[in-house]
Amino acid sequence: MSELEAALGYTFRDANLLTQALTHSSYTYEHNLGTMASNERLEFLGDAVLELCVSHWLYTSFPAMPEGKLTTRRAALVCEPSLAALARGLNLGTHMRLGHGEAQSGGREKGSLLSDAFEAILGAIYLDGGLEPARNLVVRLFESHTDTAPPIRDNKTTLQEILQKNTGETASYQTIGQSGPPHNRLFTAQVLHQGKVLGQGQGTSKKEAEQQAASQALHAIQNF
């Protein structure tokens, strides 16, 4: 069992899945491995696994909590800062396979890369052992996380609550552009409400771009 597997509490039957979950697109680009060798597809799967596991955990742990508060709590738990904090607790950054440039620019501490790798690992565990070990990891980590810190409030959650309270409607997000090579993408997103653009932001992931757009919208609302 590797050091990371010990931290995860799970031993992979297919070690290649763990390797892929830790492989950033900058590494595959520099080593001419092709985009399919990166962790992006596993991240896509892990995102869905994470949402299901967290939803089930919240539903069973808080039987008296209404749907709206469950949704808010889930959003706070699965946002990028929260996942990055969990990844740092697992020392995930030291295990990630990054391209030289990404590693030199502090990629092992970037919240977007850490949160993506965390989701990719969940996807890998799901493929390797099924939903149960993935759920066990999520419950163990999030129970420990929420015992030591209050739920993290992110910009998107805060914006949604303000809009819901004042207008009865929530916002939506659109990715309106992306640039740069595959290993160093820059995404542009905008947040819309009632057909109007409230804010726009950029980031190295779609999630980060949406958070920046929500931050701009909150700034505009507070200074209106």
Residues labelled catalytic? 47, 119
What is the spatial distance between Cα 163 and Cα 179, in angstroms, rounded to a whole number?
Answer: 31
Under 8 Å CB-to-CB from 34, ≥6 apart: which residues?
28
Alpha carbon distance 146, 11 (integer Å): 25
Report the alpha-carbon distance of residue 148 to residue 34 in Å, rounded.
Answer: 41
Cα separation, 218 vs 224, whole angstroms: 10
Strand, helix or coil for residue 32? coil
Query: What angle do the packed helices 80-89 and 111-129 form, to 10 degrees?
Result: 70
The pair of three-digit structure tokens given for residue 218, joined into one six-digit string? 């909150």
Non-local (6+) Cβ contacts of 61 within 8 A are: none
* Cβ atoms within 10 Å, residue 58: 17
Tokens of 97: 């396979």
173-198 burial code (b ≥16 CB/10 A, e <16) = beeeeeeeeebbeebbbbbebeeeeb
